[in-house]
Amino acid sequence: MTGEQAKAEIRSVVYRMAERYGAMDTDGVLATFVDEGDILVVGTGADEVRFGREELRRQIDRDLSEVETLSVGMEHLSVSVFGETAFTFADAVMSVGMGEETLRFPMRWTLGLVQSEDGWRIAQSHASVPWVDQAPGRSFPVELTKTLSDLLASIDSDTDMSSLTATRLGTATILFTDIVNSTTLSQSMGDRVWSELITTHFDRVKEITERENGTVVKTLGDGGMYVFTSGASALSTAVRTQQAVTGAAHDLQLRVGIHTGDVVQGRDDYIGVTVNKAARVAAAAEGGQILVSSTTADVVSGSGLDFGDPVNVELKGIEGTHILYPLNWA
């Protein structure tokens, strides 16, 4: 087996484990672990350390009994193979349904795998889920997805810092988009089909953006950044974009985040706290959701747009708790 073949099989095991969690199938999850030996599973809490297969079964059963629905999406999965041992790292998102509420937690997940007679199996798992339950709402630190992190890094690296003395401060509405589970989709479709799909997607979003007098600032991978002088135009673009992807042959799950504020404009780039907050608002959204900062919601008040119940979140790197509003667009 070549290194690439081993990595492909390991990815398959990890995706299957996540999918079986989402199906709330304890036996299916256990099937991705080694049959014997000192399995080690570590969670976020100080007491979340388990050794052995039976302890693992009890933990999975207990965790699944506390929720009504659960899904795990892998935002980024890297694999390193060392002979018959392998290690993986994933930026993941766990969505948990409890009653009428769905909570979304960013995760970092590392796995240790070994090659057995039945193929690659998990021997060690460490999942960290940072969140705090605070009344009256739920608050959790929102990490940027890999796509949005790369997009912001790309924008910053392309900005000529020597020209900042010639930049001007202005108020703008920033919109970020990001496709959920793009890694899984691209692997299932193949590079050629995925590339054609993404190209068509960005062409369509560009058309919608320009029709609303907005500007495409940057696209990278499966994410994009767009700027508008009108908050209402940004929200209209977001709605039309969501409608476009849900009506396409491939039903993409798109997360959209929008924030309004002062930005530093340098040539064709926009930088500053407003840009970073908009990206983090997008990272907090679920697939098919448009999340809007309270600032943007205030800007478009009286426009007739319909927002859902506000959510309180902590955005990592930005001080304080922030109120976000989901836009009812469907």
The answer to whether 231 touches 296, Cβ cutoff 8 Å, is yes
Please check whether residue 274 lies inside any domain of the structure. Answer: yes
pLDDT band at 1 (very low <50, low <70, confident <90, very high): low
Here the tokens at position 226 are 């767009």
The encoded tokens of residue 28 equal 């299916």
CB 273 within 8 A of CB 180: no
Helices marked H in the chain: 3-22, 26-30, 53-65, 146-158, 182-189, 191-211, 231-246, 273-284, 294-299
* 44 belongs to a structural domain: yes
Does 47 fall in a domain? yes
Q: Is 302 helix (H, G, I), strand (E, B) or coil?
A: coil
Is there a single domain that holds both residue 90 and residue 230?
no
Q: Tokens standing for 24?
A: 């709330």
Instruction: Compute and round to an integer the Cα radius of gyration of the chain.
Output: 21
Instruction: Tell me how far apart the alpha carbons of residues 157 and 147 are, in angstroms, rounded to a whole number.
Output: 15
- The tokens describing 38, both together, are 């000192």
Q: How many structural domains is the chain composed of?
A: 2
- On whether both 73 and 36 belong to a single domain, the answer is yes
Pairing type for strands 215-220 and 49-51 reads unpaired
User: For the domain that residue 201 is a member of, what is the CATH number?
Assistant: 3.30.70.1230
The whole domain housing 255 covers 146-326
Q: What is the mean pLDDT of residues 297-311?
A: 90
In this structure, the answer to whether residues 172 and 37 fall within a common structural domain is no
Three-state DSSP at 290 gives strand
Tell me the two tokens of residue 198.
């993404």
Q: Is the model's pLDDT at 171 over the cut of 90?
A: no
Residue 117 within any structural domain of the chain: yes
- The CATH number assigned to the domain holding 28 equals 3.10.450.50
Instruction: Rank 11-20, 55-64, 69-78, 166-175 by mean pLDDT and report only the highest.
Output: 11-20
Same-domain status, 180 and 254: yes
Q: What is the pLDDT of residues 185-214, one digit of tens each?
A: 777 777 788 888 888 999 999 999 999 999
Tokens of 8: 């492909």
- Between 74 and 199, the higher pLDDT residue: 199
| Sign of the CA dihedral with 291 first, then 294, 295, and 300 last | positive
Contact 91, 146 (CB under 8 A): yes
In a domain, 141, yes or no: no
**8 A C-beta contact, residue 155 and residue 240:** no
Residue carrying structure tokens 């018959």: 84
The per-type count for the chain, helices as H runs and strands as E runs, is: 9, 17
Residues 29, 49: Cα–Cα separation, whole Å = 17
Same domain flag for 156 and 225: yes
The pLDDT, as a whole number, for residue 235 is 97
Query: 268: pLDDT confidence band, cut at 50, 70 and 90?
Result: low
Identify whether residues 121 and 209 lie together within a single domain: no
Secondary structure of residue 103 in the 3-state scheme: strand
Residue finishing a domain among 129, 156, 184: 129
How is residue 327 annotated by DSSP? B
* Pairing mode of beta strands 321-326, 290-293: antiparallel
Answer yes or no: do 189 and 321 share one domain. yes
Q: Would you call 256 helix, strand, or coil by DSSP?
A: strand
* 115: in domain: yes
Bridge partners (DSSP) of residue 114 are 85, 121
Comparing C-alpha atoms, which of 13, 126, 23 is closest to residue 70? 23
Q: What is the mean pLDDT of the chain?
A: 83
Tell me, yes or no, whether 257 lies in a domain: yes
Least confident among 95-109, 128-142, 219-233, 236-250: 128-142
* Judgement on whether residues 297 and 216 belong to the same structural domain of the protein: yes
